[in-house]
Each structure stands twice: as structure tokens, then as C-alpha cells.
Amino acid sequence: MSGEEISFPLLIIVGVILISQSMFLFLDARKHGHNYWLWGIIGLIQAPMPTLFYLIFVRKIWQKLD
């Protein structure tokens, strides 16, 4: 493998962040009647964009701030 190796502690931290985000999206989407499996899987892909998209476009939190 060319380039720099990624350290094991960094992989653990990234894994914890992605799983935590996925669990939050899954549970919150299920609680509010959205497609919770989709959001749980999307939450495993990257962070923090899926959470931001969910809160802005699905939950529409910006409308509740008015």
C-alpha cells in the first residue's frame, strides 16, 4: 500500500463517530415516522453531512426556530 498508513486509534474513533451518528439517525427517524432504515444506513457512510441533511430537510428544524 503506497502512502501513509492510518493508525488504529484513529480508525476506532472514526468508527465510533459513524456508529453513533447512525444510531442517532435511526432512532430519531423511527421516533418521527421517517424511513429509519435508510437514515441508519446513510449515517454509516460519512459524517456529519447525513445528520445535517436529516435535520434540515427531513425534520425541518429551521422552521421550528421561527
What total of structural domains would you count in the chain? Answer: 1
2 domain residue, yes or no: no
18 domain residue, yes or no: yes
Task: Supply the pLDDT for residue 1.
Answer: 52
For residue 40, which of 53, 61, 26, 20 has the smallest C-alpha distance?
26
User: What is the residue whose three cell numbers read 425541518?
Assistant: 60
42 has a pLDDT exceeding 70: yes
Q: Report whether 50 contacts 38 (CB < 8 A).
A: no
CB atoms within 10 A of CB 25: 25
Domain that includes residue 23, residue range: 9-64
- Model-level pTM? 0.83
3 domain residue, yes or no: no
4 has a pLDDT exceeding 90: no
Task: Supply the pLDDT for residue 3.
Answer: 66
CA distance linking residue 18 with residue 44, whole number of Å:
5
CA distance linking residue 32 with residue 9, whole number of Å:
35
